[in-house]
Structure 1
Amino acid sequence: MCSNYDPVLDKTKLRTHFGVEDLPPDLKPRLWPGYVGPFIRKHEFADVGDEAVPKHELMVGSFGLIPHWAKDEKIARQTYNARSETVHEKPSFRDAWRLARHCIIPAEAIFEPDWRSGKCTPTRIVRTDGKPMGIAGLWTGWKQPNGEVLRSFTMLTVNADDHAFMRSYHKPDDEKRMVVILQDEEYDAWLSASPDESRYFLRQFPSELMATD
Protein backbone atom coordinates (compact mmCIF):
# COMPACT_ATOMS: atom_id res chain seq x y z
CA MET A 1 0.00 0.00 0.00
CA CYS A 2 1.24 3.47 -0.74
CA SER A 3 0.20 6.43 1.42
CA ASN A 4 2.78 8.93 0.20
CA TYR A 5 4.80 9.50 -2.94
CA ASP A 6 6.74 12.07 -4.93
CA PRO A 7 4.76 13.19 -7.99
CA VAL A 8 6.40 14.04 -11.30
CA LEU A 9 6.49 17.84 -11.44
CA ASP A 10 9.12 18.27 -14.14
CA LYS A 11 7.39 19.48 -17.33
CA THR A 12 9.97 17.88 -19.60
CA LYS A 13 9.45 14.47 -17.99
CA LEU A 14 5.69 14.82 -18.19
CA ARG A 15 5.90 15.66 -21.88
CA THR A 16 8.50 13.00 -22.71
CA HIS A 17 7.09 10.06 -20.76
CA PHE A 18 3.36 10.81 -20.59
CA GLY A 19 2.66 13.20 -23.48
CA VAL A 20 1.03 15.92 -21.38
CA GLU A 21 1.66 19.63 -20.86
CA ASP A 22 0.55 22.58 -18.74
CA LEU A 23 1.35 21.52 -15.19
CA PRO A 24 -0.31 23.90 -12.68
CA PRO A 25 2.08 25.74 -10.34
CA ASP A 26 2.47 25.34 -6.58
CA LEU A 27 1.91 21.60 -6.28
CA LYS A 28 3.58 19.87 -3.34
CA PRO A 29 6.71 17.78 -4.02
CA ARG A 30 5.45 14.96 -1.76
CA LEU A 31 1.82 13.93 -1.57
CA TRP A 32 -0.20 12.40 1.25
CA PRO A 33 -3.90 11.50 1.24
CA GLY A 34 -5.99 14.63 0.81
CA TYR A 35 -3.21 16.59 -0.91
CA VAL A 36 -3.80 17.77 -4.47
CA GLY A 37 -1.56 16.34 -7.17
CA PRO A 38 -1.42 15.53 -10.89
CA PHE A 39 -3.01 12.61 -12.70
CA ILE A 40 -3.40 11.77 -16.37
CA ARG A 41 -6.55 10.60 -18.09
CA LYS A 42 -7.66 10.01 -21.66
CA HIS A 43 -8.58 13.39 -23.18
CA GLU A 44 -12.33 13.84 -23.10
CA PHE A 45 -12.35 14.65 -26.85
CA ALA A 46 -9.72 12.09 -27.88
CA ASP A 47 -12.22 10.09 -29.97
CA VAL A 48 -13.67 12.92 -32.06
CA GLY A 49 -11.18 12.39 -34.87
CA ASP A 50 -9.43 15.74 -34.60
CA GLU A 51 -5.66 15.30 -34.88
CA ALA A 52 -5.17 18.55 -32.97
CA VAL A 53 -6.67 16.98 -29.83
CA PRO A 54 -4.03 15.21 -27.69
CA LYS A 55 -4.62 11.64 -26.56
CA HIS A 56 -4.01 12.42 -22.88
CA GLU A 57 -4.71 15.35 -20.59
CA LEU A 58 -3.17 16.25 -17.27
CA MET A 59 -5.56 17.03 -14.44
CA VAL A 60 -5.16 17.78 -10.75
CA GLY A 61 -7.13 16.18 -7.98
CA SER A 62 -7.15 14.96 -4.42
CA PHE A 63 -5.02 11.91 -3.63
CA GLY A 64 -7.75 9.66 -2.27
CA LEU A 65 -10.95 8.98 -4.20
CA ILE A 66 -13.99 11.02 -3.09
CA PRO A 67 -17.15 9.27 -4.37
CA HIS A 68 -20.12 11.34 -5.44
CA TRP A 69 -22.10 10.35 -2.33
CA ALA A 70 -19.43 11.43 0.19
CA LYS A 71 -20.48 14.06 2.74
CA ASP A 72 -17.05 15.69 2.74
CA GLU A 73 -13.54 15.19 1.39
CA LYS A 74 -12.18 13.59 4.58
CA ILE A 75 -12.93 10.17 3.10
CA ALA A 76 -9.78 10.64 0.97
CA ARG A 77 -7.75 9.64 4.04
CA GLN A 78 -9.07 6.07 3.63
CA THR A 79 -9.46 5.77 -0.17
CA TYR A 80 -5.99 6.50 -1.52
CA ASN A 81 -5.47 2.81 -2.44
CA ALA A 82 -8.00 0.43 -4.02
CA ARG A 83 -7.53 -3.33 -3.77
CA SER A 84 -7.76 -4.86 -7.25
CA GLU A 85 -9.57 -7.92 -5.85
CA THR A 86 -12.52 -5.89 -4.52
CA VAL A 87 -12.45 -2.60 -6.44
CA HIS A 88 -15.50 -3.60 -8.49
CA GLU A 89 -17.71 -4.03 -5.41
CA LYS A 90 -16.53 -1.54 -2.79
CA PRO A 91 -18.92 1.45 -2.58
CA SER A 92 -16.11 4.00 -2.72
CA PHE A 93 -14.66 2.64 -5.97
CA ARG A 94 -17.24 0.60 -7.86
CA ASP A 95 -18.74 3.47 -9.88
CA ALA A 96 -15.34 4.67 -11.10
CA TRP A 97 -14.45 1.06 -11.98
CA ARG A 98 -17.75 0.46 -13.79
CA LEU A 99 -17.34 3.65 -15.81
CA ALA A 100 -13.70 2.77 -16.62
CA ARG A 101 -12.47 6.10 -15.31
CA HIS A 102 -8.88 5.03 -15.63
CA CYS A 103 -5.97 7.32 -14.93
CA ILE A 104 -2.20 7.25 -14.59
CA ILE A 105 -0.52 8.78 -11.55
CA PRO A 106 2.97 9.99 -12.53
CA ALA A 107 5.43 9.35 -9.70
CA GLU A 108 9.14 9.90 -9.26
CA ALA A 109 9.12 7.53 -6.28
CA ILE A 110 6.85 5.84 -3.78
CA PHE A 111 7.47 5.36 -0.06
CA GLU A 112 6.92 2.14 1.86
CA PRO A 113 7.71 1.16 5.50
CA ASP A 114 10.61 -1.21 6.07
CA TRP A 115 10.23 -3.09 9.38
CA ARG A 116 13.17 -5.50 9.01
CA SER A 117 15.16 -3.67 11.70
CA GLY A 118 12.28 -3.98 14.16
CA LYS A 119 11.15 -0.39 13.72
CA CYS A 120 9.48 1.48 10.89
CA THR A 121 11.92 2.98 8.41
CA PRO A 122 10.26 4.97 5.59
CA THR A 123 11.96 3.89 2.37
CA ARG A 124 12.00 5.67 -0.99
CA ILE A 125 11.49 3.31 -3.94
CA VAL A 126 12.27 4.13 -7.57
CA ARG A 127 12.64 2.46 -10.95
CA THR A 128 16.14 1.18 -11.64
CA ASP A 129 16.08 2.59 -15.20
CA GLY A 130 15.60 6.15 -13.95
CA LYS A 131 12.20 6.55 -15.58
CA PRO A 132 9.17 7.84 -13.66
CA MET A 133 6.50 5.40 -12.56
CA GLY A 134 3.11 5.41 -14.24
CA ILE A 135 0.80 4.06 -11.55
CA ALA A 136 -2.60 2.71 -12.59
CA GLY A 137 -5.49 4.45 -10.90
CA LEU A 138 -9.12 5.49 -11.00
CA TRP A 139 -10.50 9.03 -10.91
CA THR A 140 -13.84 10.69 -10.27
CA GLY A 141 -15.44 14.05 -9.52
CA TRP A 142 -17.17 15.24 -6.33
CA LYS A 143 -19.43 18.30 -6.10
CA GLN A 144 -18.25 20.54 -3.30
CA PRO A 145 -20.65 22.61 -1.13
CA ASN A 146 -19.78 25.70 -3.20
CA GLY A 147 -20.90 23.91 -6.37
CA GLU A 148 -17.43 23.42 -7.82
CA VAL A 149 -16.26 19.94 -8.77
CA LEU A 150 -13.22 18.50 -7.02
CA ARG A 151 -11.55 15.69 -8.91
CA SER A 152 -9.83 12.89 -7.03
CA PHE A 153 -7.92 9.69 -7.71
CA THR A 154 -6.81 6.43 -6.14
CA MET A 155 -3.97 3.98 -6.82
CA LEU A 156 -4.81 0.36 -7.63
CA THR A 157 -2.93 -2.33 -5.68
CA VAL A 158 -2.22 -6.06 -5.99
CA ASN A 159 -0.95 -8.74 -3.63
CA ALA A 160 2.86 -8.85 -3.31
CA ASP A 161 3.43 -11.73 -0.87
CA ASP A 162 5.57 -13.49 -3.48
CA HIS A 163 7.21 -10.41 -4.99
CA ALA A 164 10.99 -10.63 -4.62
CA PHE A 165 11.32 -6.91 -3.84
CA MET A 166 8.07 -5.70 -2.28
CA ARG A 167 7.64 -8.64 0.10
CA SER A 168 10.30 -6.98 2.29
CA TYR A 169 8.06 -4.04 3.18
CA HIS A 170 5.26 -3.47 5.71
CA LYS A 171 4.98 -5.27 9.05
CA PRO A 172 6.12 -8.92 9.11
CA ASP A 173 2.65 -10.35 9.76
CA ASP A 174 0.79 -8.02 7.35
CA GLU A 175 -0.23 -8.96 3.85
CA LYS A 176 2.29 -7.54 1.38
CA ARG A 177 0.85 -5.32 -1.33
CA MET A 178 2.12 -3.02 -4.04
CA VAL A 179 0.71 -0.39 -6.36
CA VAL A 180 0.15 -1.33 -9.99
CA ILE A 181 3.02 0.19 -11.97
CA LEU A 182 2.25 0.06 -15.68
CA GLN A 183 4.74 -0.78 -18.40
CA ASP A 184 5.49 2.32 -20.50
CA GLU A 185 3.95 0.82 -23.63
CA GLU A 186 0.69 0.11 -21.78
CA TYR A 187 -0.27 3.71 -21.01
CA ASP A 188 -2.58 4.25 -23.99
CA ALA A 189 -4.19 0.84 -23.63
CA TRP A 190 -4.87 1.30 -19.91
CA LEU A 191 -6.51 4.69 -20.39
CA SER A 192 -8.77 3.27 -23.12
CA ALA A 193 -9.54 -0.14 -21.59
CA SER A 194 -13.09 -1.22 -20.86
CA PRO A 195 -14.01 -2.67 -17.46
CA ASP A 196 -13.76 -6.18 -18.91
CA GLU A 197 -10.28 -5.47 -20.27
CA SER A 198 -9.00 -3.75 -17.15
CA ARG A 199 -7.88 -6.73 -15.10
CA TYR A 200 -5.19 -7.64 -17.60
CA PHE A 201 -3.18 -4.65 -16.35
CA LEU A 202 -3.51 -5.41 -12.63
CA ARG A 203 -0.30 -7.33 -12.03
CA GLN A 204 3.05 -6.97 -10.31
CA PHE A 205 5.83 -4.81 -11.72
CA PRO A 206 9.12 -6.71 -12.29
CA SER A 207 11.21 -6.78 -9.12
CA GLU A 208 14.46 -6.25 -11.02
CA LEU A 209 13.18 -2.84 -12.13
CA MET A 210 12.65 -1.63 -8.54
CA ALA A 211 15.24 -0.33 -6.08
CA THR A 212 15.63 1.86 -3.00
CA ASP A 213 16.96 5.35 -3.37
Structure 2
Amino acid sequence: MCTRYISPEQREIEAFWKIDRTSNQRKDWENLLTVFPLSLASFIRRADDVEYARELAVGQWGMIPPWSKTSIPLTARGTRLSTVNARTEGMEKSPTYKEAWSRGKRCIIPAASFDEPNWETGKNVWWRFRRADGAPWGLAGLWNTWTDNETGEVWDNYTMLTLNADGHPLMGRMHKPDPKLPPDRQDKRSVIPLEVHEFDLWLAGTIEEAKKLLKLAPIEAFDAGPIAA
Protein backbone atom coordinates (compact mmCIF):
# COMPACT_ATOMS: atom_id res chain seq x y z
CA MET A 1 0.00 0.00 0.00
CA CYS A 2 1.10 3.52 -0.72
CA THR A 3 0.05 6.11 1.84
CA ARG A 4 2.15 9.09 0.77
CA TYR A 5 3.64 10.41 -2.42
CA ILE A 6 5.07 13.62 -3.85
CA SER A 7 3.11 15.29 -6.63
CA PRO A 8 4.89 17.27 -9.36
CA GLU A 9 3.99 20.93 -9.57
CA GLN A 10 0.97 21.66 -11.73
CA ARG A 11 2.98 23.24 -14.53
CA GLU A 12 5.15 20.11 -14.70
CA ILE A 13 2.06 17.90 -14.93
CA GLU A 14 0.55 20.04 -17.67
CA ALA A 15 3.76 19.96 -19.71
CA PHE A 16 4.58 16.26 -19.34
CA TRP A 17 1.06 14.96 -19.91
CA LYS A 18 0.11 17.61 -22.50
CA ILE A 19 -3.06 18.52 -20.66
CA ASP A 20 -5.86 19.85 -22.84
CA ARG A 21 -7.82 21.54 -20.07
CA THR A 22 -8.29 21.79 -16.32
CA SER A 23 -11.47 21.50 -14.28
CA ASN A 24 -12.72 21.74 -10.73
CA GLN A 25 -9.78 23.70 -9.35
CA ARG A 26 -11.07 23.76 -5.79
CA LYS A 27 -10.72 26.98 -3.80
CA ASP A 28 -9.54 25.02 -0.75
CA TRP A 29 -6.77 23.31 -2.71
CA GLU A 30 -3.29 24.28 -1.47
CA ASN A 31 -1.28 22.49 -4.19
CA LEU A 32 0.61 20.47 -1.59
CA LEU A 33 3.55 18.56 -3.03
CA THR A 34 3.56 15.83 -0.36
CA VAL A 35 0.21 14.07 -0.55
CA PHE A 36 -1.27 12.13 2.35
CA PRO A 37 -4.60 10.27 2.70
CA LEU A 38 -7.59 12.63 2.36
CA SER A 39 -5.39 15.41 0.92
CA LEU A 40 -6.56 17.27 -2.17
CA ALA A 41 -4.27 16.66 -5.14
CA SER A 42 -4.19 16.62 -8.94
CA PHE A 43 -5.14 13.65 -11.08
CA ILE A 44 -5.61 13.20 -14.82
CA ARG A 45 -8.76 11.84 -16.44
CA ARG A 46 -10.32 11.69 -19.87
CA ALA A 47 -12.33 14.73 -20.90
CA ASP A 48 -15.94 13.66 -21.45
CA ASP A 49 -16.51 15.26 -24.83
CA VAL A 50 -13.27 14.33 -26.62
CA GLU A 51 -12.03 10.72 -26.79
CA TYR A 52 -8.34 11.31 -26.26
CA ALA A 53 -8.38 14.71 -24.54
CA ARG A 54 -6.81 14.79 -21.09
CA GLU A 55 -8.27 16.79 -18.25
CA LEU A 56 -6.52 17.81 -15.05
CA ALA A 57 -8.75 17.74 -11.98
CA VAL A 58 -8.31 18.16 -8.25
CA GLY A 59 -9.85 15.64 -5.91
CA GLN A 60 -9.55 13.93 -2.57
CA TRP A 61 -7.09 11.05 -2.32
CA GLY A 62 -9.38 8.45 -0.83
CA MET A 63 -12.49 7.35 -2.68
CA ILE A 64 -15.75 8.25 -0.98
CA PRO A 65 -18.33 5.42 -1.01
CA PRO A 66 -21.73 6.46 -2.38
CA TRP A 67 -23.40 5.81 0.98
CA SER A 68 -20.94 7.87 3.02
CA LYS A 69 -22.54 10.82 4.79
CA THR A 70 -19.26 12.73 4.96
CA SER A 71 -16.27 13.28 2.69
CA ILE A 72 -14.29 11.11 5.10
CA PRO A 73 -14.84 7.57 3.75
CA LEU A 74 -17.05 5.57 6.08
CA THR A 75 -18.55 2.09 6.07
CA ALA A 76 -22.32 1.66 6.05
CA ARG A 77 -22.07 1.37 9.85
CA GLY A 78 -20.22 4.67 10.11
CA THR A 79 -16.69 3.44 10.87
CA ARG A 80 -13.61 4.79 9.11
CA LEU A 81 -12.72 3.16 5.78
CA SER A 82 -9.30 3.24 4.10
CA THR A 83 -9.78 3.87 0.37
CA VAL A 84 -6.52 5.47 -0.81
CA ASN A 85 -5.56 2.10 -2.34
CA ALA A 86 -7.85 -0.32 -4.15
CA ARG A 87 -7.00 -3.98 -4.69
CA THR A 88 -7.39 -4.79 -8.38
CA GLU A 89 -8.35 -8.37 -7.52
CA GLY A 90 -11.62 -7.31 -5.90
CA MET A 91 -12.51 -3.97 -7.44
CA GLU A 92 -15.06 -5.36 -9.91
CA LYS A 93 -17.26 -6.50 -7.03
CA SER A 94 -16.35 -3.92 -4.40
CA PRO A 95 -19.29 -1.67 -3.42
CA THR A 96 -16.83 1.23 -3.23
CA TYR A 97 -14.99 0.75 -6.54
CA LYS A 98 -17.16 -1.31 -8.89
CA GLU A 99 -19.12 1.62 -10.32
CA ALA A 100 -15.99 3.58 -11.20
CA TRP A 101 -14.39 0.52 -12.80
CA SER A 102 -17.47 -0.55 -14.80
CA ARG A 103 -18.05 3.01 -16.07
CA GLY A 104 -14.46 3.45 -17.21
CA LYS A 105 -13.64 6.16 -14.67
CA ARG A 106 -9.93 5.47 -14.82
CA CYS A 107 -7.35 8.11 -13.98
CA ILE A 108 -3.62 8.72 -13.89
CA ILE A 109 -2.06 9.92 -10.65
CA PRO A 110 1.11 11.98 -11.28
CA ALA A 111 3.88 11.34 -8.77
CA ALA A 112 7.46 12.57 -8.70
CA SER A 113 8.06 9.78 -6.18
CA PHE A 114 6.23 7.58 -3.72
CA ASP A 115 7.25 6.12 -0.37
CA GLU A 116 6.97 2.59 1.04
CA PRO A 117 7.99 1.07 4.41
CA ASN A 118 10.77 -1.52 4.54
CA TRP A 119 10.99 -3.78 7.62
CA GLU A 120 14.05 -5.87 6.74
CA THR A 121 16.01 -4.43 9.69
CA GLY A 122 13.20 -5.23 12.12
CA LYS A 123 11.97 -1.65 12.19
CA ASN A 124 10.31 0.63 9.67
CA VAL A 125 12.73 2.32 7.27
CA TRP A 126 11.00 4.47 4.67
CA TRP A 127 12.14 3.99 1.09
CA ARG A 128 11.57 6.47 -1.72
CA PHE A 129 10.78 5.30 -5.25
CA ARG A 130 11.56 7.40 -8.31
CA ARG A 131 11.71 6.43 -11.96
CA ALA A 132 15.18 5.47 -13.17
CA ASP A 133 14.72 7.57 -16.31
CA GLY A 134 13.95 10.73 -14.31
CA ALA A 135 10.39 11.08 -15.60
CA PRO A 136 7.42 11.34 -13.23
CA TRP A 137 5.38 8.27 -12.41
CA GLY A 138 1.93 7.94 -13.92
CA LEU A 139 0.12 5.64 -11.49
CA ALA A 140 -3.08 3.81 -12.39
CA GLY A 141 -6.15 4.86 -10.45
CA LEU A 142 -9.93 5.17 -10.40
CA TRP A 143 -11.96 8.30 -9.78
CA ASN A 144 -15.56 9.12 -8.95
CA THR A 145 -17.73 11.94 -7.66
CA TRP A 146 -19.60 12.23 -4.39
CA THR A 147 -22.26 14.80 -3.50
CA ASP A 148 -22.56 16.30 -0.04
CA ASN A 149 -26.30 16.09 0.66
CA GLU A 150 -26.16 18.96 3.14
CA THR A 151 -24.37 21.50 0.94
CA GLY A 152 -24.88 20.11 -2.56
CA GLU A 153 -21.13 20.35 -3.15
CA VAL A 154 -19.69 17.80 -5.56
CA TRP A 155 -16.38 16.19 -4.59
CA ASP A 156 -14.10 14.52 -7.08
CA ASN A 157 -12.16 11.72 -5.39
CA TYR A 158 -9.72 9.02 -6.44
CA THR A 159 -7.86 5.90 -5.40
CA MET A 160 -4.60 4.18 -6.43
CA LEU A 161 -4.83 0.64 -7.77
CA THR A 162 -2.54 -2.05 -6.34
CA LEU A 163 -1.39 -5.52 -7.34
CA ASN A 164 0.05 -8.43 -5.39
CA ALA A 165 3.86 -8.07 -5.41
CA ASP A 166 4.98 -11.14 -3.44
CA GLY A 167 7.27 -12.29 -6.26
CA HIS A 168 8.63 -8.90 -7.27
CA PRO A 169 12.37 -8.52 -6.48
CA LEU A 170 11.93 -4.97 -5.17
CA MET A 171 8.31 -4.31 -4.24
CA GLY A 172 8.08 -7.70 -2.55
CA ARG A 173 10.62 -6.44 0.00
CA MET A 174 8.36 -3.63 1.20
CA HIS A 175 5.85 -3.61 4.07
CA LYS A 176 5.91 -5.51 7.34
CA PRO A 177 5.88 -9.28 6.83
CA ASP A 178 3.36 -11.51 8.55
CA PRO A 179 5.36 -14.21 10.39
CA LYS A 180 2.35 -16.54 10.27
CA LEU A 181 2.37 -16.67 6.46
CA PRO A 182 4.90 -18.17 4.01
CA PRO A 183 6.88 -15.79 1.74
CA ASP A 184 4.67 -16.45 -1.28
CA ARG A 185 1.45 -15.73 0.65
CA GLN A 186 2.30 -12.37 2.22
CA ASP A 187 0.15 -10.36 -0.21
CA LYS A 188 2.67 -7.53 -0.42
CA ARG A 189 1.16 -4.75 -2.56
CA SER A 190 2.49 -2.47 -5.28
CA VAL A 191 1.15 0.52 -7.14
CA ILE A 192 0.77 0.11 -10.93
CA PRO A 193 2.97 2.43 -13.01
CA LEU A 194 1.84 3.21 -16.56
CA GLU A 195 4.19 3.93 -19.44
CA VAL A 196 3.83 6.91 -21.79
CA HIS A 197 2.46 4.80 -24.63
CA GLU A 198 -0.20 3.37 -22.28
CA PHE A 199 -1.68 6.64 -21.01
CA ASP A 200 -4.41 7.11 -23.62
CA LEU A 201 -5.36 3.44 -23.63
CA TRP A 202 -5.74 3.49 -19.86
CA LEU A 203 -7.91 6.59 -19.93
CA ALA A 204 -10.03 5.84 -23.00
CA GLY A 205 -9.69 2.14 -23.81
CA THR A 206 -12.17 -0.63 -23.14
CA ILE A 207 -12.26 -2.51 -19.86
CA GLU A 208 -10.54 -5.48 -21.48
CA GLU A 209 -7.79 -3.23 -22.85
CA ALA A 210 -7.36 -1.61 -19.44
CA LYS A 211 -7.06 -5.00 -17.73
CA LYS A 212 -4.00 -5.80 -19.84
CA LEU A 213 -2.23 -2.75 -18.37
CA LEU A 214 -2.61 -4.00 -14.79
CA LYS A 215 0.93 -5.26 -14.30
CA LEU A 216 3.97 -4.63 -12.14
CA ALA A 217 6.87 -2.53 -13.39
CA PRO A 218 10.22 -4.29 -13.98
CA ILE A 219 12.90 -3.64 -11.41
CA GLU A 220 14.91 -1.70 -14.02
CA ALA A 221 12.24 1.03 -13.98
CA PHE A 222 13.01 1.97 -10.37
CA ASP A 223 15.48 4.27 -8.66
CA ALA A 224 14.78 3.34 -5.05
CA GLY A 225 16.45 3.38 -1.67
CA PRO A 226 16.12 4.43 1.98
CA ILE A 227 15.26 8.04 2.67
CA ALA A 228 18.21 9.78 4.30
CA ALA A 229 17.57 10.71 7.92
TM-score, length-normalised on structure 2?
A: 0.85
Deviation at 1:10, TM superposition (A): 4.5
Look up the match of 2:194. Answer: 182
Alignment pair present for 1:147 and 2:152: yes
In structure 1, what is the Cα distance between the partners aligned to 2:218 and 2:8? Answer: 21
Alignment pair present for 1:119 and 2:119: no
Deviation at 1:186, TM superposition (A): 0.3
Alignment pair present for 1:39 and 2:43: yes
Look up the match of 1:50. Answer: none
Look up the match of 2:181. Answer: none
TM-score, length-normalised on structure 1?
A: 0.91
Deviation at 1:22, TM superposition (A): 5.5
In structure 2, what is the Cα distance between the partners aligned to 1:61 and 1:157? Answer: 19
The counterpart of 1:168, out of the listed 170, 173, 176, is 173
Any idea what SS the aligned residue of 2:42 has? strand
In structure 1, what is the Cα distance between the partners aligned to 2:176 and 2:66? Answer: 33
In structure 2, what is the Cα distance between the partners aligned to 1:196 and 1:90? Answer: 18
Identity between Structure 1 and Structure 2 (%): 35
Any idea what SS the aligned residue of 1:167 has? helix
Deviation at 1:45, TM superposition (A): 1.5
Alignment pair present for 1:81 and 2:82: no
Look up the match of 2:60. Answer: 62
Look up the match of 1:51. Answer: none
Contact 1:67/1:141, CA 8 A, preserved across alignment: no
195-204 or 58-67, which deviates more: 195-204
In structure 2, what is the Cα distance between the partners aligned to 1:85 and 1:197? Answer: 16
Deviation at 1:59, TM superposition (A): 0.0
Contact 1:67/1:140, CA 8 A, preserved across alignment: no
CA deviation profile, 1:128-164 (whole Å, cap 9, x unmatched): 1110000010000000121010000000111111111
Alignment pair present for 1:156 and 2:161: yes
In structure 1, what is the Cα distance between the partners aligned to 2:163 and 2:118? Answer: 18
Contact 1:41/1:191, CA 8 A, preserved across alignment: yes
Deviation at 1:29, TM superposition (A): 1.2
- Unaligned runs of at least 5 residues, structure 1: 48-53
Any idea what SS the aligned residue of 2:212 has? helix
**Letter paired with 2:9:** L
Query: What's the Cα RMSD here?
Result: 1.8
In structure 2, what is the Cα distance between the partners aligned to 1:74 and 1:153? Answer: 13
- Unaligned runs of at least 5 residues, structure 2: 75-80, 179-185
